[in-house]
């Protein structure tokens, strides 16, 4: 699998996570991990998917690996939630009522103005890790408002052209 294909697969997995299709995302991330093993930018979303799917043992293993190799704080949070759900199954319902920080922040998503992290190029000890590519929510204006503003601007330009340019001949 080449760099471009890995990048596209990673982007597809990220989009699947965004829409809650964790099983499909996990499958793609596992393929990437087979090609380029032990990359933090791949291991963390895998752990996140395992948590969401209830794959406790696999999720704990991934969290342990992230903690041991990268001292990953967000993996500690996932690990704590998984352990809580294993110890007290009823607690899952209580915790499920609260949305986890990771789900709101989407910490493993690449910044749109930069190229997404390429798993095969992301060295283990660089700043190109998950935390360095966090995405904050962008301005979310309804599409109808954007279109209305564009329409008003176009009408104003047409009016000015008609009044001042076309009538001057």
Which comes out higher in pLDDT, residue 119 or 162?
162
Q: What is the residue range of 143's domain?
A: 139-169
Which comes out higher in pLDDT, residue 69 or 162?
69
Question: 27 with 77, same domain?
Answer: yes
Question: 54 with 116, same domain?
Answer: yes
pLDDT at 105: 39
Question: 154 with 107, same domain?
Answer: no
Question: 118 with 153, same domain?
Answer: no
CA-to-CA distance for 155 and 168, rounded, in angstroms? Answer: 19
Question: 74 with 128, same domain?
Answer: yes
CA-to-CA distance for 81 and 103, rounded, in angstroms? Answer: 13
pLDDT at 169: 55
pLDDT at 116 over 60: no
pLDDT at 165: 77
pLDDT at 167: 67
> What's the structural domain count of the chain?
2
We report the CATH number of the domain holding residue 59 as 1.25.40
Question: 50 with 77, same domain?
Answer: yes
164: confidence class by pLDDT, cuts 50, 70, 90: confident
Whether the predicted model's global pTM rises above the 0.75 cut:
no
- Residues in Cβ contact with 149 at an 8 Å cutoff, skipping those fewer than 6 apart: none
DSSP string of 99-167?
A: PPHHHHH-TTSPPTTSPPPPTTT--TTSS-SGGGG--PPPP---HHHHHHHHHHHHHHHHHHIIIIIGG
Question: 108 with 154, same domain?
Answer: no
Q: What is the DSSP letter of 84?
A: H
Question: 145 with 70, same domain?
Answer: no
pLDDT at 17: 94
């Amino acid at each position: 699998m080449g760099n471009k294909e890995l990048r596209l697969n990673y982007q597809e997995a990220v989009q699947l996570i965004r829409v809650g299709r964790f099983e499909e995302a996990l499958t793609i991330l596992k393929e990437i991990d087979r090609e380029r093993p032990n990359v933090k930018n791949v291991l963390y979303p895998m752990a996140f998917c395992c948590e969401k799917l209830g794959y406790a043992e696999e999720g704990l293993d991934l969290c342990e690996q992230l903690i041991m190799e990268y001292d990953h704080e967000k993996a500690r949070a996932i690990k704590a939630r998984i352990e809580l759900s294993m110890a007290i199954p009823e607690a899952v319902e209580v915790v499920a009522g609260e949305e986890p920080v990771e789900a709101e922040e989407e910490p493993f998503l690449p910044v749109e103005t930069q190229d997404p992290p390429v798993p095969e190029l992301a060295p283990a000890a660089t700043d190109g890790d998950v935390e360095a590519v966090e995405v904050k929510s962008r301005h979310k204006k309804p599409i109808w408002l954007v279109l209305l503003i564009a329409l008003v601007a176009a009408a104003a330009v047409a009016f000015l052209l008609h009044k001042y340019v076309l009538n001057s001949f």
